[in-house]
Structure 1
Amino acid sequence: MSADAAWQEEAARLRAAPPRHLLFLCVANSARSQMAEGIARALAPASTRISSAGSRPTQVNPLAVAALAEIGIEISGQRSKGLQEIAPDVDAVITLCQEEVCPVWLGKAMRLHWGLPDPAAQAGDEPARLEAFRRVRDELRTRLAAVFRQPDGDAIRYGPATPEELGAVRALLERLHLPAADVGAPHQTFLVARSGADVVGCVALERYGEDALLRSLGVVPRLQGSGVGKALHAEAIAEAERQGVRALYLLTTTAARFFARAGFSRIDRASVPAALAASTEFRSLCPAAAVCMVKHLPR
């Protein structure tokens, strides 16, 4: 059985017997298990208790905090814990060690093993190390989204944002640490995803003649990995084509791989049309380290 098939089978086991108390284990309770705890808490029902621990606990790695903050999940208040601190009512345990010998939970519980590389072992400068944390974060998010499946995508409705919804859009972007100061400018078209009366995702086009800036693509943490982001991206592309946009540009600090899979190519920031380069997003809202990308649309 392939590694992908194995974890998908394990996710199905957890869905079939939803745990009341899910515990993540690794040695130091510093990186993988801390990120898993934060992501699971964002995705799981409120009735599910989420914990993490280690056999030799140290402290929460700051890069784990930074990687989750990028997707709107706050774990700066979490701390490393030993096994003896965990309540005995755990009914499902996921061990995350790959290179090390994982701690053992002696209580009665369903046991699963998701061996993932330790991002804290990544050599190099801080950007390279942070990228290792992002890879593990994204893998954990994919797996845990399969465990804690959200309502069917058919329950999500997509369409233009109303003026009254722009406040909710701004709040969502701020939660996700995305630029929000200029939301509502006249040359912007915001599209939103709605679950009931709640805005659960957004994306925007900012027009500059025949070109446009694709920006503000964000989804609430509990629905990340559920396909809402891909659907919003598709809505934005369709809207750009309806508006006759020739080329879509964007800046991203965290989602270059997602956009590359969607047909965007990396370009030098200096090659962006002057009108876009003068935009607030390019001039001041996005850091100089952000990746610049473009996608040319059919005429």
Structure 2
Amino acid sequence: MTDKIYNVLFLCTGNSARSVLAEAIMNRIGSGKFRAFSAGSQPKGEVHPYTLDLLRQLNYDTGFARSKDWSEFAEPDAPALDFVFTVCDSAANEACPVWPGQPMSAHWGVPDPVAATGTEAEKRLAFAEAYRMLNARISAFTSLPLQSIDRMTLQRRLDDIGSGDQAEGAA
């Protein structure tokens, strides 16, 4: 066994909901094995209040949560990234910075809860659903045998998780 802690970056456009949720989930589920970060290509500058409310309801410390630009993670003093996951469609189609070390990447698109319409309860439900989807995908990812799997197989598994083929617990 190794004591390596893998650095994971979750990217979205606004960095106000999905990527922040993913960062929180990964840092809880993967504690001791993974360290998560989040960023956006066009950050909103603040985390959506429903994101913070949901995390607080689920007993997360939200002190980490801030909306930031992905360029922070392309700087020379940034953490070396092992994995980069896009969690919204627009970020998957944008030109990403070149990440030093060629981290593995995959697209794990989740519907944008910020775009939800309807009553307040319906909007909050969209945030809860985004959380559920990300939690399932991150749980599947953190259960992968990273030390004993070759890079091509790992890439296939990462893609499968993003397409939902393994995100509900099938491995």
Instruction: Tell whether the structures are fold-level matches, with TM greater than 0.5.
Output: yes
By how many angstroms is 1:93 displaced?
Answer: 0.5
List alignment gaps of at least 5 residues for structure 2. 144-167
By how many angstroms is 1:75 displaced?
Answer: 2.2
By how many angstroms is 1:145 displaced?
Answer: 1.4
1:68 is aligned to 2:55: yes
2:124 is matched with which residue: 125, 130, 140?
A: 130
1:42 is matched with which residue: 28, 32, 41?
A: 28
**Partner amino acid for 1:20?**
Y
By how many angstroms is 1:63 displaced?
Answer: 0.6
Aligned counterparts of 1:76 and 1:126: Cα–Cα separation in 2: 25
Aligned counterparts of 1:72 and 1:88: Cα–Cα separation in 2: 27
Aligned counterparts of 2:16 and 2:68: Cα–Cα separation in 1: 9
1:82 is aligned to 2:108: no
**Structure 1 stretch displaced more, 19-28 or 29-38:** 19-28
- % identity of equivalent residues: 35
**Partner amino acid for 2:32?**
A
Contact 1:93 1:112 in 2 (8 A): yes
Aligned counterparts of 1:38 and 1:139: Cα–Cα separation in 2: 13
Give the greater-gyration-radius structure (CA).
Answer: 1
* The structure with more strand, counted as a fraction of residues: 1
TM-score w.r.t. length of structure 2: 0.70
| Count of aligned residue pairs for this structure pair | 134
Cα offsets for 1:212-267 (capped at 9, x unmatched): xxxxxxxxxxxxx99xxxxxxxxxxxxxxxxxxxxxxxxxxxxxxxxxxxxxxxxx
Contact 2:26 2:35 in 1 (8 A): no
**Partner amino acid for 1:50?**
A
1:31 is matched with which residue: 6, 12, 17?
A: 17
Aligned counterparts of 2:16 and 2:50: Cα–Cα separation in 1: 10
**Partner amino acid for 2:117?**
A
* The structure with more helix, counted as a fraction of residues: 2
By how many angstroms is 1:19 displaced?
Answer: 6.5
Q: Quick one: higher RCO (CA 8 Å, sep 6+), 1 or 2? A: 2
1:106 aligned residue: 98
List alignment gaps of at least 5 residues for structure 1. 1-17, 150-224, 227-299
Aligned counterparts of 1:148 and 1:101: Cα–Cα separation in 2: 23
Contact 2:41 2:91 in 1 (8 A): no
